Amino acid sequence: MEDNTDSALPKRVVRTITLTQEDLSLLDGIERVMSKTGQRIKTDSKLIRAAIQVAHATLHDEPYDVMEVAERVVKEDGRTLSRLLEKEKKSQ
């Protein structure tokens, strides 16, 4: 039986963005906060996705939990999910 990991992942859109040095510095700050949750969020795309989710919740006065956001971003990352599935297969 073959696993279809694509069905478990959200649709991805590739988009080029331009960031300033200040933006990158802010991303580093977000990475430091997220790493305190125990989640490994080292890629810019994961950091940007986490920041978007927090910003959206803030703008709409919705509560959010940084740990929950971090876990969701890590779980939805294709590379991370692929590695987790590989580990799971090896342990069985």
C-alpha–C-alpha distance, residues 41 and 70, integer Å? 8
Angle between helices 66-76 and 44-59 (to 10 degrees): 140
Q: How confident is the model at residue 1 (pLDDT cuts 50, 70, 90)?
A: very low
The pLDDT tens digits for 53-73 are 999 999 999 999 888 888 888
42-57: string of b/e by CB count within 10 Å (b at 16+)?
A: eeeebbbbbbebbeee
Q: Domain boundaries in the chain?
A: 20-91
Among 8-12, 47-51, 69-73, whose mean pLDDT is lowest?
8-12
Q: Residue 2: what pLDDT?
A: 47
71 touches 38 (CB < 8 A): no
